[in-house]
Structures are given as C-alpha cells and as structure tokens.
Amino acid sequence: MERQLMKFVDRVKSLKNIGSDGLDEIASEYSIIRAQAGDLKGSSGFTTEAGQLKDNVKKNRYKDILPYDQTRVPLSPLEKESESDYINASFIQGAIGNKRYIATQGPLSHTLGDFWRMVWQYDVKVIVMACREIELGKRKCERYWSSHTETSIFGAFAVTNLEEHSPNEEVVIRTLLVKYQEETRTISQFQYTAWPDHGIPYASDGILGMMVMVRKTQGASTAPILIHCSAGCGRTGVICTVDYVHDLLLTNRIREDFSVMEIVMAIRRQRPSAVQTKEQYEFVYHTVGQMFEKALLSQRNNYQNLTENHLPLYDDVHSVKIQRRQTSSCRAGDLQPKRKSNLLPQTSHPLGQKMNDTYAVVNKPKHRPPPESTSPPPTAHHYDNAGLGGPSPPADALYSTVKPKNRCSVIPASTATYDRVIPANDRGAEASVTSDQGDYELVAGVFSTSSRNATPANSHQIRRPSEARSSTDDDYEYISNPLKDVTSYCSPGGMGFNCRIKKPKGPRDPPAEWGRAER
C-alpha cells in the first residue's frame, strides 16, 4: 500500500498540470462529478418527493437542496401520531460496514425540535458543526444548544451546556446534557469556526486534528456521526469524504484503483451536492494528500525504530550472539577510565624535574635585644640543603645563595596524609623541639617524602605539635610564626626590605630603615 500512497502524494504535488482540454485535472474531474448529478434523478431513479411536499417545503433551508427519498433520515413520532417524519437529512454509508454518517442542514427555528428528535432517535453521540451561526450577515444555523451552564428547552427536550472550551483557535468543543422525560444523555459537539461559506480553510491541519478528537470521542459506538453545515452538502460532504478515506487507510484498503472522484460521486448518490464547489474538491485532494504523507512518515519512523532499536527475538541467531558480545565488551570498556581527571591534585612542577635555577632565601631577622643586655653571639643558619657541599653563608648576610635540591616525590592519593594546619597560638612549642632549627620553624606540609611513614587516607589522625619533624628531615622549611608586632610596617620582626612607605612629597633622604644593618 505504501506505493499507492506515494503515487497519490506525487499526483497532488502536480495538480496544476494543464490537460488537453485546457483545464487542470481538478477542474476536469469536478466537471464530470457535476455532470453526473443530472443523471441520478433520470436514469438512476433517485427522487425527492418527501422534501417537495407542501408541509415539508418550509422545513428546507434551501429549495434546491432536498434529500433523496432513498437515503433520507425518517423520524418516528414521539407523542402525537400526526407528527411529520420529515427532516432534511440523509444517511451516508462509511467505509466500514457498521459506520454511518447523518448529513443534515443547519436547523431552522421551527425545526429545532425535529433536530433533537433525530439526535435522540438514532442515539447520536457526536455532532460536528462545520459553520458559524451567522456568516457574512446571514444566519446559517439556529442555535440548538444553550449558553454555558444554562438550560434551554427545544420541544420535548431540555438541553444543558455543561462545558465549553476551545483546544485551539479553530475548534470549539461543548458537552451537552440532553434530557427527555426521565432519561438523560451526554452528547459532544465539535464546532469548526474557520471555514468560510463556499470557500476552503487556509490549511487542512485544523480539520484533520478535529476529526482525530471526533473519532476518539466516538470510540466503539456504532451510532451515526451527525455532520452539518448550513445546507448540509458542501462542507459536510468534504468532512464525510476525508473521514471515509481515513477509514480506508486504517483498514489498508488504498489500492491501485483508489480515486477521490469515485468516492465523492458515491457520497453524492446518498446526499445531493456533497462537496459543492471546485475549491472544496481541491481541498479534499490536498487534505487526503497530507493524510497520506503523515501515514508514510509514521511507517518509516516505525520501521526505523524496529530495525535500529530492537534485537531479534531468538537467542540462537549467530549475529545476535556476536552483537551481544560486542555490546558487553563495549560496556566493560566504558567502565575503564579513559584519561586522568583534571580535578586530581597536581604538583606545580613535573615529578623528577631538577630545579637548577638559583634563588634567594631571606634570612629571618631576630628581635633586637634590650640596650642594657649584651648581644648574643651570631647564630649560624641551617638550610635544608646544607649537606650538599656548598659554601656556608656568613651569619650576618641578608641574602643567602641556596642550591636547590630535587623535587621530593608525592605520596600516592590512596596513602597521602594531610596535616591539619595548627593555629598560630598553638605553634609556640614547635620552635623548641630542637636547637638545630635556628630561627626557622617547621610546619607539617602537604608533601612528604617516600621514606616517611604514610598514614592511610581514611585515617583522621591529627598530628600534634609534639610530633613535629626535626631539622634532619629532608624537606623544605616553612615559616609559621606570625608577626606579633604590626604597629608599623617596619616594626621589629617584619620584613625590613618590604616596607610600604608613602611616596615622599619632595627630595629627601631615604628612610632610616632602608640603611639599617641586619644583625
């Protein structure tokens, strides 16, 4: 069936090809449809006698649109035996055996009771209204429902508008509660408001979307779907034809001989003037073409999902076993880390790289003794690379040349030990651990040598000041004592060379602190 759908879609795209008779294909087909209307009353024996009776003429909205006697909808009397059984309405057989439509005109003011008699008698569940009440200043249909939350009486029927809403700008949906004597029924009405009289809608999406909601509301009910516009032929015939083709598509009956013209002619044999204008006939073509396009797209998507996202159902297929082994190996490979995370701690220099550049270490100045006390002998400074064979700097040197050592290794993350920083007021005891440290204090650092005993990472031991390392440890030294006296930038204990002094306003001698000798 896919080939037939594609063939029709291609034909719709080339509808404007000019034929030998000087008309496009649509106009040519529609001229054949109109020519057949005259033959129905002559050779086929269709009659309209019931609609021409004197008592029934006033019940017709248009004098030239009368139902065929062979397909008209007869009414049964409810209370009075003298009630007429006539209403301007026709049965239309659907594509499925038990599906029927009632195509009728918009009720007149004096046929509102007959309209609800028909709805009640044939147990209608869904009403499709394809017009407005007033169009171009002319009344096209009498209101046969009440305002929202109100109740109106139409003959022997009480109609209450329970709910009214618009799912989009083109459709209005009403839920009507109909009561006759002691029985009540719920009926859904779908009004399409974007269809001009004797014209066509701007697009067919609104009609297709509305009919999806109609079929969902109808469900499995075998009651006829009531469709009406003003005359009950033009717009009503279009909707009947589109839904008829949809049922053919649903039951996979789009064959090589599929013809929109044949379907319209078959509907016209049941309701006169169905699909009333050439523009409406062209709209049927485009709507059916769009329906077929959506069906083809849906089939392709379903086929793609089945072939790409689903495996065969049998495990003994060799290809399935290979595919499953490949899938398992891929999943196992996904569990292996592909590269190191950038969030892991990194050293500032690559491990094993030697720092051969020379840099300066500033000697920490001592506190000046009181004037009355004697100066102690200068204390030799000890550096972490004192044993490398280099010359020892003088005791009173401001800067000392230090030959760097190799970068120490880092304990792996699984066994790394991180020491808690000891507050400044708790570090006083660290300076007295050994006498070999001079004026520098050791603080437990982040990096440790591999020769040091490692503490497991999950251990939460806190290293106390008594556990501080001696100067024999092969580490860099860290300054930990805070400056006690911060009354001035150049107070004793401060870094004398880094004094922050305001810019002088004029030529003057440099500050005295710049020329003082370090002791």
Instruction: Please check whether residue 511 is in contact with residue 489, taking contact to mean a CB–CB distance below 8 angstroms.
Output: no
> Which of 141, 229, 408, 490 is labelled catalytic?
229
Ramachandran angles phi, psi of 161, nearest 5°: -90, 95
Strands (E), 85-229: 89-93, 100-104, 126-129, 134-135, 138-139, 151-154, 157-165, 171-180, 183-192, 225-228
For residue 148, give the DSSP letter: B
Residue 502 to residue 487: CA distance in whole angstroms: 16
Which has the closest alpha carbon to 102: 85, 113, 88? 88
* Residue 185: partners with Cβ closer than 8 Å, 6 or more residues away: 120, 123, 177, 178
> Could you confirm whether 229 is annotated as catalytic?
yes
The residue count of the chain comes to: 519
Instruction: Please check whether residue 400 is in contact with residue 383, taking contact to mean a CB–CB distance below 8 angstroms.
Output: yes
Residue 12 to residue 20: CA distance in whole angstroms: 18
* Residue 101: partners with Cβ closer than 8 Å, 6 or more residues away: 91, 92, 94, 224, 225, 226, 227, 240, 243
Residue 17: is it exposed, middle or buried by C-beta count within 10 angstroms (0-12/13-18/19+)? Answer: exposed
Beta bridge mates, 185: 178
Instruction: Please check whether residue 274 is in contact with residue 268, taking contact to mean a CB–CB distance below 8 angstroms.
Output: yes
Report the b/e string of 333-356 with b at 16+ CB within 10 A: eeeeeeeeeeeeeeeeeeeeeeee
Cα-to-chain-centroid distance, residue 153: 47
Q: Which residues are catalytic?
A: 229
